[in-house]
Copies of this chain bind each other. A is one copy, B any other.
Amino acid sequence: MAAPEGLFVLEGRPTAQLIADQLREQIVQGTFRPGQQINESAVAAQLRTSRGPLREALQRLCQEGLLISHRNRGVFVLELSTADIKEIYAVREAVELAASNTLMDAGQDQINDTCRVLKEIIGDMAKHVAVSDWQAIARLDMQFHTTFVAGTGNTRLIRIYETLAAESRMCILSLEVAYPRLDVLVQEHQNLLDLLEAGDRKGLQQAVKRHLQKAVEDLTVTRQDNEITA
């Protein structure tokens, strides 16, 4: 009855999902630029597969909203307008506030487990601050928040947030160095962690709101107005 999952579980995942995960990573890393068309034949060849499985993966990313499909024209990488940034961070606020509440209502063990992982991530962030590795900082930033949401154990909330995290990384990447001073950033996350550990529900909620609103300001202030999206 109990299948030997351990060995085959890595390759046991559906192909389309594996390809989609690879493409998502390439998108948030900027290998594919916003607005760029995904050439099916070329990308399929690059990933050592054929157009069939690739197209299935593309549909997943279209459903996520990272790609946009135009009939008979192809799929294109999402271009982020200031309106998009506001949307993304509004949803993030909703999700993270809900996660805060759920975590606070959860057992102390669950909170401690989450805090332990968050501590490690902040530690890693501090290391990369020293060398101003923006890409790494952005990745760890979103890893922090994803871990936070994952602490709730709500699989649907987690799935939703993974897309938001990808979009957030695209925001940061597309604006290059829109980050505030890096030590301040680390401090903000440390603050969130402290409030979670202290069980300060109201304080955590307020801190999350401020943290995200500040990010929106940083991301939109330097940006030319391009709310008009084709």
Question: Hey, which bits of chain A sit against chain B, CB under 8 A?
Answer: 11-17, 20, 52, 55-57, 59-60, 62-65, 69-71, 87-88, 90-91, 93-95, 97-98, 102, 154-157, 159-160, 164
- Closest 4 A/B residue pairs (Cβ): A94-B98, A60-B63, A63-B63, A14-B69
A65 contacts B156, CB within 8 Å?
yes
Q: Which of B11, B93, B160 sits near A98, CB closer than 8 Å? A: B93
Contacts of A157 in B (CB 8 A): 87, 90-91, 94
Pick the most buried of A93, A94, A159: most chain B CB atoms within 10 A of its CB: A94
* Chain B residues, Cβ within 8 Å of A94: 94-95, 97-98, 157
Q: A65-B159, A156-B65, A159-B65 are in contact. Are A59 and B91 (CB under 8 A)?
A: no
When all copies of this chain in the complex are counted, the total is: 2
Chain B residue contacts of A98, Cβ below 8 A:
90-91, 93-94, 97
A to B CB contacts below 8 Å, 13 in the list:
A15-B71, A17-B62, A57-B59, A63-B64, A65-B156, A65-B159, A87-B154, A87-B157, A90-B102, A91-B154, A94-B97, A97-B98, A156-B164
A65 to B91, CA, bound (A): 19
B59 x A16 contact (CB < 8 A): yes
Q: How far is the CB of A159 from chain B (nearest CB, A)?
A: 6
Most buried by B among A62, A69, A156, A157: A156
Nearest-Cβ distance from residue A146 to partner chain B, whole angstroms: 16
